[in-house]
Structure 1
Amino acid sequence: MAEDILGQALLDYQNGKYTEDILTYSSLDEEDIIPLPYLFRGFEKMPPLEQKALKLCKGEVLDIGCGAGNHSLYLQEKGYNITALDSSKGAIEVCTKRGLNKTVISAILDFDKKKYDTLLLLMNGIGLAGTLNQLKDFLLHLKSILKPEGHILLDSSDIIYMYDADDDGGYWVPNDGSYYGEVEFTMQYKGEKGQPFEWLYLDFNTLQRAASDTGFLCELVSEGHHYDYLAKLAPK
């Protein structure tokens, strides 16, 4: 199970074996819980940013890092040609059990089968880039599977609020040469820990600069209530 912590947890919930949630440990010295019922939420329980993103989808859609398939299921029910992609075998098994017609087990960087009108990266899907240094290559790969008139919809958060503020309104961020939005996570489920993985949270200005450098126009679609935002990227 340690190789697919998320997938096993999703399968347990899908199969009526829900007894506990996923624990996460991060390099920010924080322990948190991912409630499994939240990972199976319907459209009405999604945050407004996610609802907005789903309404902006067009054409053929690739749901990257689909998890239990909530976003894909909504789009499929609305008649979209939607493909759900995740590197977790368990997650994709859950998606199939829930009725999704098109699924792919793959890391996004290993996927280059075709081009799409919409690439969907929700629940901070841009985090899959891992680090700021890897962001450019990540965006260029997304561009390679995006149709010329297509767009990318993604949400993220500026986690600067997690650092101590000074009297001048600035923040005390560790001066170790890394971007403050780079976080290392470890998941634990039913006593087993998975391998640590890198995850990236982006402030909008940093995303906008990276998008411009890789040939995208970057639009701030809407902002949430707590440093989160929805962005749309389209090829220049």
Structure 2
Amino acid sequence: MKDLMGKAIWDFYHDKNAEDLLTETSISEIDELPVEYFFRGFKDMNLIEQKALELSKGKTLDIGSGAGSHSLYLQNERKLDVLALDNSPKSIEVCQLRGVQNVLCSNILDFSGETYDTILLLMNGTGIFDSLDKIDIYMEKLSSLLKDDGQILIDGTDILYMYDRDEEGGVMVPADHYYGEVDYFIHYKLDTEKPIKWLYLDYQTFQRVAENNGFKIERILQEEDSYLARLTKKDLN
């Protein structure tokens, strides 16, 4: 992994001529992603992020922490015990330099140990599931990290709107895979990261998968095509 996103975050923090990241997917063209987006304060975050941070409680695991903005808010403003977890070494280094007290560079599937009152996955948190056929593995991992009375706060986006429609109004989705499974590409300073699998999950599909894996799920907030969901473990008795 070239860690291009981490390099951009590191360059921006150290004032090393950071450039915008360029992102694209297998179904969309190249788009600019300003690096400062990862350094936003609470007031500049979207409503889904703000609501998730307001609902966070207790010992919190921030998965895919990036530059650490969510973790810093929870640590400094909410006074929560939070661990920033990301598989980007440069991003985790910046988290630490910005003042996040507890950080760890790891893939979520390789991480184990303690359990948490809140597990946070934001900025299309469903993306880390890769694809529908791997989601059960991630659900099992998240369940093992969650206290029995804990909560998972996660956001996702239904990207059905990105597909063309036929003359009858039917959506022309792929026949060989779920339409929310895409290849995600990152470009930075003339370099390109190896594409990753990224999952955009509509709420109805997520509801079915979550319930099949022993979770209750509720939609906390809907903003256009994106939503914030809260998962809790079903009653054990």
* Aligned equivalent of 1:134: 134
Give the letter aligned to residue 70 of structure 2: H
Q: How many residues align?
A: 233
Give the letter aligned to residue 97 of structure 2: K
- Does 2:212 match 1:213? yes
* Aligned equivalent of 2:227: 229
Question: In 1, are the aligned partners of 2:129 and 2:198 still within 8 Å (CA)?
Answer: yes
Greater mean alpha carbon deviation, residues 161-170 or residues 80-89: 161-170
In the TM superposition, what whole-angstrom CA distance separates every residue of 1:54-79 from its partner, at most 9, and x where no partner exists?
A: 01111100000000001000000120
| SS of aligned partner of 1:97 | helix
Structure 2's unaligned 5+ residue stretches are: none
In the TM superposition, what whole-angstrom CA distance separates every residue of 1:73-117 from its partner, at most 9, and x where no partner exists?
A: 000012000100000000000001100000010000100121000
Measure how far apart 1:203 and its partner are.
0.3
Measure how far apart 1:165 and its partner are.
2.5
Q: 2:100 & 2:16 partners in 1: Cα distance? A: 21
Q: 1:137 & 1:197 partners in 2: Cα distance? A: 17
In the TM superposition, what whole-angstrom CA distance separates every residue of 1:105-144 from its partner, at most 9, and x where no partner exists?
A: 0000100121000000000122101001101111111000
| SS of aligned partner of 1:84 | strand
| SS of aligned partner of 1:30 | strand
* Aligned equivalent of 1:66: 65
In percent, how many aligned pairs have the same letter?
48
Q: 1:18 & 1:117 partners in 2: Cα distance? A: 39
* Aligned equivalent of 2:13: 14
Q: 1:163 & 1:121 partners in 2: Cα distance? A: 26
Q: 1:142 & 1:182 partners in 2: Cα distance? A: 20
| SS of aligned partner of 2:71 | helix
Structure 1's unaligned 5+ residue stretches are: none
| SS of aligned partner of 1:165 | coil
* Aligned equivalent of 1:143: 143
Measure how far apart 1:18 and its partner are.
3.5
In the TM superposition, what whole-angstrom CA distance separates every residue of 1:136-163 from its partner, at most 9, and x where no partner exists?
A: 1111110000000001000010000000
- Structure 1 vs Structure 2 CA RMSD: 1.1
| SS of aligned partner of 2:99 | coil
TM-score (norm 2): 0.96
Q: Map of 1:1-236 to 2, 5 A cutoff?
A: 3-77=2-76, 78-176=78-176, 178-224=177-223, 226-236=224-234
Question: In 1, are the aligned partners of 2:18 and 2:35 still within 8 Å (CA)?
Answer: no
Q: 2:141 & 2:169 partners in 1: Cα distance? A: 37
In the TM superposition, what whole-angstrom CA distance separates every residue of 1:25-56 from its partner, at most 9, and x where no partner exists?
A: 31114211111111110000000011000011
| SS of aligned partner of 1:147 | strand
